[in-house]
Amino acid sequence: MNRAEIWDDFQSNPPQVLIVGGGINGIGTFRDLALNGVRVLLVEQADFCSGASAASSHMAHGGIRYLENGEFRLVREAVQERNRMIENAPHLVRPLPTVIPIFRVFSGLLNAPLKFLGWLEKPSERGALVIKIGLIIYDAFTRKQKTVPAHRLEGRNRSLEHFPGMNPSVRYTATYYDGSIISPERLALEVLLDGEAEGVHVQALNYASLTHVADGKVTVRDEMDGSEHHLTPQLIINAAGPWIDRVNGRMGLDTRYINGTKGSHLVLDHTELRQAIGDNEIFFENKDGRIVLVFPLQDKVLVGTSDLPVTDPDDARCTPQEETYFLEMLQRVFPNIRVDLSQVVFRFSGVRPLAFTQARNAGQITRDHHIQTDTLGGFPVLSLVGGKWTSFRAFSEQVTDRVLKALGLSRQKGTQDLPIGGGFGYPKKDELQNWQAGLSQESGISIQRVGILFQRYGTRARQVVEYINQGLDTPLTGLPAYSRREIEFLVKNEKVQHLDDLVIRRSLLAYLGGLELTKLKELALVTGSNLGWDETKRGTEVKRCLDILAEKHGVIIQPA
């Protein structure tokens, strides 16, 4: 169905559930409800996974540092969910060796008890002993699952053998395993598409905003054409993340559920640093206990993250002060590798939708999740507060169980072992080469090209290849690693409405740098040929994309 047909359908046959917010919590709940036969409409004011969920550190992790807060249930849940993500979405979530450089031995032993007593403003740097204890507990949570290896602790000599560029003052390195999310935006989108594939009883619309509620009717504005639509759901799920209180305000509810903190990141084009970290994440802290991570993102390096109070999520930007802090921290671990702002190719920043609290330190605000229930005009409003990327499936399951009970329904299907998108039918390691060779032979497309598509889309590469073979395909002039029909497939099948949807969220093109005006114009031409854009509209979309890249991500693209 097209957008007009979706609006007509849900106005004449109302949704049982209206989900407001297309981040990962809303999308995960959307899929779970779809699997269980609930009639659902999801609306997102911008593009899917363009808010808090897009500002992720690209990690599927249990949160080892939350042990210090005594949040054992949260860590246990997150570690188990990390393993499920690796197993259910192996094309986008992969085991990641994470290395902690350690410069002290006994420091930090009193962090946990002092936090418990409320006497700790800022934690001290963790030493080898407290990190070792934490990793033993961390490994114990996945003792029965063999998804990732156990941790190891190595002394200075072995550490410097593995990482010759590391600060020679290092006393130890601890290596444990979490997961890397190659593209959070793609992962969220594939969860969404899996939900929609369950049938016409579920639909999702980006660029659609809830404006107000009156007389039992919810008014939603389609941001693409300005039209307004009136819906009468039985239940509303507010999954707007850091905007939850603002959305509740539009509905006439006065709430204060969110106390978000800002996290910023840089993406660096730095060959020496990329070689220095190898395929490992380097996870370390300053003397004041603040955490910084250095993460491999294809041939680039992602550096983050901050944890700063913020009042308006729309104002979240990576500041010069944060940039300076990240670069200075890099010098502590890799003192002989020179990094400067000229090597930054992308910046991103977002607000974690954390629960409102009186905690004095942002790092002490829980990353746990819960549901707040209000009543509006006779129907319940469930606000999804808190959470983290790794736990989205478990949180969605809890929300779905609550909704099913409210609707008088019972669960029919679960998501614990359900593959995601290109993870369906994913070949085992020893079958991978045969899978790609078989698709190459069937399609006539080179095995090298099939390999690239498989790396991007997992087993959905088969759908991309089938579409490519239905017409004449040529590589893009400015981006020869992509082809015209591959871009067309994304536009037609992945709800692209604007050029920035494609450049920032359906691909890693913006993250990895190298965009030029001529490349954006070529992408706009291909995108527009499928969305009915004339020359004027193409120019508008290119300008919109340039403005977003410059204003939100610090990417200034010069004229050709």
**Domain of residue 526, CATH code:** 1.10.8.870
User: Are 25 and 185 in contact, with CB atoms under 8 Å apart?
Assistant: no
Question: Is 70 contained in some domain?
Answer: no
Q: Report the C-alpha gap between 201 and 291 in whole angstroms.
A: 44
- Residues 101 and 177 both lie in one domain: yes
Question: Is 559 contained in some domain?
Answer: no
Question: Is 558 contained in some domain?
Answer: no
- Residues 98 and 165 both lie in one domain: yes
* Phi–psi pair at 169, nearest 5 degrees: -80, -5
pLDDT at 146: 67
Strand partners, 229: 220
- Residues 388 and 481 both lie in one domain: no
Q: Report the C-alpha gap between 24 and 352 in whole angstroms.
A: 12
230, two tokens? 């009136």
269, two tokens? 């084009």
Count of other CB atoms within 10 angstroms of residue 403 = 25
User: Are 268 and 334 in contact, with CB atoms under 8 Å apart?
Assistant: no
pLDDT at 63: 78
pLDDT at 552: 96
User: Are 132 and 64 in contact, with CB atoms under 8 Å apart?
Assistant: no
Question: Is 501 contained in some domain?
Answer: yes
Q: Report the C-alpha gap between 217 and 189 in whole angstroms.
A: 29
- Residues 236 and 215 both lie in one domain: yes
Helices (H), 18-99: 24-35, 72-88
Q: Is the dihedral angle over the CA atoms 305, 307, 311, 313 positive or is it negative?
A: positive
pLDDT at 113: 47
- Residues 280 and 353 both lie in one domain: yes
Sequential DSSP letters for 455-491: HHHGGGHHHHHHHHTTS---B-SS-TTSBHHHHHHHH
Q: Report the C-alpha gap between 176 and 164 in whole angstroms.
A: 19
pLDDT 10s digits, 408-444 = 999 999 999 999 999 999 999 899 999 999 999 999 9
Long-range contacts: 438-444, Cβ < 8 Å, 24+? Answer: 439/465, 443/468, 443/469, 444/469
- Residues 245 and 380 both lie in one domain: yes
Largest CA-CA distance found in the chain, in angstroms, rounded: 71
pLDDT 10s digits, 192-211 = 999 999 999 999 999 999 99
Helices (H), 43-127: 72-88, 111-117
Question: Is 65 contained in some domain?
Answer: no
Domain of 13, CATH number, reads 3.50.50.60
User: Are 109 and 127 in contact, with CB atoms under 8 Å apart?
Assistant: yes
pLDDT at 554: 95
Count structural domains, the chain.
3
- Residues 316 and 447 both lie in one domain: no
Q: Report the C-alpha gap between 137 and 151 in whole angstroms.
A: 11
Q: Closest Cα partner for 184 from 56, 318, 86?
A: 56
User: Are 17 and 233 in contact, with CB atoms under 8 Å apart?
Assistant: yes
Tell me if residue 301 falls in helix, strand or coil.
Answer: strand
pLDDT at 72: 83
Cα distances (angstroms) measured from residue 5 to each of 1, 10, 80, 199? 6, 9, 40, 15
Cα distances (angstroms) measured from residue 74 to each of 69, 271, 378, 395, 397? 10, 37, 33, 11, 15
Burial class (CB in 10 A: 0-12, 13-18, 19+), 1: exposed
Q: Is the dihedral angle over the CA atoms 265, 267, 273, 276 positive or is it negative?
A: positive
Q: Report the C-alpha gap between 498 and 46 in whole angstroms.
A: 10
pLDDT at 224: 97
Residue whose tokens read 């188990």:
80
pLDDT 10s digits, 112-145 = 444 444 544 555 567 788 888 888 888 888 766 6
Cα distances (angstroms) measured from residue 64 to each of 57, 61, 466? 15, 8, 43
Question: Is 323 contained in some domain?
Answer: yes
Question: Is 168 contained in some domain?
Answer: yes
Low-confidence stretches of the chain (pLDDT < 70) are 68-69, 106-125, 143-146, 287-289, 358-367, 560
Strand partners, 155: 172
User: Whole domain around residue 17: which residue ranges?
Assistant: 3-52+185-259+366-407
320, two tokens? 């010069």
Strand partners, 556: none
Sequential DSSP letters for 370-382: EEEEEEETTEEEE
461, two tokens? 């590469």
- Residues 154 and 265 both lie in one domain: yes
pLDDT at 364: 55
Question: Is 402 contained in some domain?
Answer: yes
Residue type, 226: G
Radius of gyration of the chain from its Cα atoms, rounded to whole angstroms: 23
pTM: 0.93
- Residues 246 and 278 both lie in one domain: no
Q: Report the C-alpha gap between 209 and 194 in whole angstroms.
A: 23
Count of other CB atoms within 10 angstroms of residue 360 = 11
- Residues 237 and 317 both lie in one domain: no
- Residues 136 and 215 both lie in one domain: no
Domain of 272, CATH number, reads 3.30.9.10
- Residues 174 and 190 both lie in one domain: no
